[in-house]
Amino acid sequence: MATLEIHDLHVSVTDGAGEAREILRGVDLTVSAGQTHAIMGPNGSGKSTLANTLLANPAYTVTRGRIRFLGEDITDLPTDARAARGLFLGFQHPEAISGVSVLNFLRQALAVRKGIPDLSVLEVRMELMQWMQRLGMDDEFTQRYLNEGFSGGERKRNEILQMAMMEPEFAVLDETDSGLDIDALHAVAQGVNVVRDARPEMGILLITHYQRILAHLSPDVVHILLDGRIVESGGVELAARLERDGFDSFRDAA
């Protein structure tokens, strides 16, 4: 069964002058349960636009096409409704929220995901501790304010912790490898694999510039996105070709 289906997706963004500019120009994509798909493209190709559109960021307007999740058309659903159905977004630049601890943030998010408004703090804390142990994270992490004073690697590992706790059916990871050194990249990729092992039916859409994270996560399919369209799809050999020849080698197909 397809977890995520995108058909002929066109998306526009309104600039500061009030002009609408089309970013995605007919994206088609199907990800089945348990699959990991990678989308690679240069800056401005539409990668983050796709991620934001999947989670209904109001700054992005779908002008044509449909998005189906677990068989349901979610094109017109708001962010909270999509999240409650099991769609997760790991941000490229996670925001810091002063005064809100990691524990309290996750409790509120899980209350929405599970539909339990009075979710027990103790229950959340116990599950959180188990996951932090599995992910090799320090216990004191839970009491820190969300992303405040976090390094780049800590912010990305916190995103993976959230993904583990939220138990999504599908995760969109928007440039999770951005700004990470080799050690941090390894830790984040290892965390993703731990969560994948625990939830083998979870689908993943991994958005990245580079081949290096793919060596850790072994995607089933790699897509090349240029100028708002997927111009080629295949195996990891596409990433190797990209590393060798650059994005210009795919432009004839755009």
72-120 pLDDT per residue, tens = 999 999 999 999 899 999 887 777 778 888 888 888 888 888 887 777 8
Taking the alpha carbons at both ends of the chain, their separation in whole angstroms is 29
List CB contacts of 114: < 8 A, sequence separation 6 or more: none
Q: How far is CA 67 from the centre of its chain?
A: 16
Domain ranges of the chain: 2-253
pLDDT in tens, 10-53: 999 987 777 889 999 999 999 999 999 999 999 889 999 999 99
Q: How far is CA 227 from the centre of its chain?
A: 20
Tell me how crowded residue 172 is: count the other CB atoms within 10 A of its CB. 25
Q: In a 10 Å sphere around its CB, with 0-12 CB exposed, 13-18 middle and 19+ buried, how is residue 16 labelled?
A: exposed
Residue 4 pLDDT greater than 60, yes or no? yes
HSE of 253, CA atoms in CB hemisphere, 13 A: 13
DSSP annotation of 41 reads -
- The pTM score is 0.90
> What CATH number matches the domain at 2-253, 2.40.160.20, 3.10.105.10, 3.40.50.11540, 3.40.50.300?
3.40.50.300
Tell me how crowded residue 38 is: count the other CB atoms within 10 A of its CB. 24
Tell me how crowded residue 95 is: count the other CB atoms within 10 A of its CB. 9
Percent with pLDDT over 70 in the chain: 98
